[in-house]
Structure 1
Amino acid sequence: MKRLADALKSGQKIEAIKSYREATGLGLKEAKDAVEALHADLHAKYPDEYPEPSKSVGCGSSAALIALAAGALYWISQLPV
């Protein structure tokens, strides 16, 4: 569980979930939900030690943004000079 706390302190949620699964034997979904709840609770009690849970952008959003940027660059390159 020390590995879990250290991972949460450093913002490594995936590592924390792995540690929780190893310690409890729970499935991925259950471990993820438990770690997120634990992190939210620890952040509320110790905001300086445990950073705010990240609101990361998923892979689909990143891929869409890259495709949009590539399309815009292509469109700009086709404009007459």
Structure 2
Amino acid sequence: MITDKDIERINELYRKSKTPEGLTPEEKEEQMCLRGEYIASIRRNLKSQLDTITIQKEDGTLVNLKERHQEKYGN
């Protein structure tokens, strides 16, 4: 899980990357890892939200998006 401290560090590394001295190889690696964790966290949150959405078809039936996805793709 990504924390506020992690986001603060991502921003700090970004600001440093824009300075003339730039990032060290270790900091570049840290930045890549933190960004990867951040993106994974965003994807998990989005999937969680989409899994709870229910849509109503024209005939009035309700379909949960998670169930619909599982029926269509078997995941």
* TM-score, normalised by the number of residues in structure 2: 0.33
Which structure shows the higher strand fraction? 2
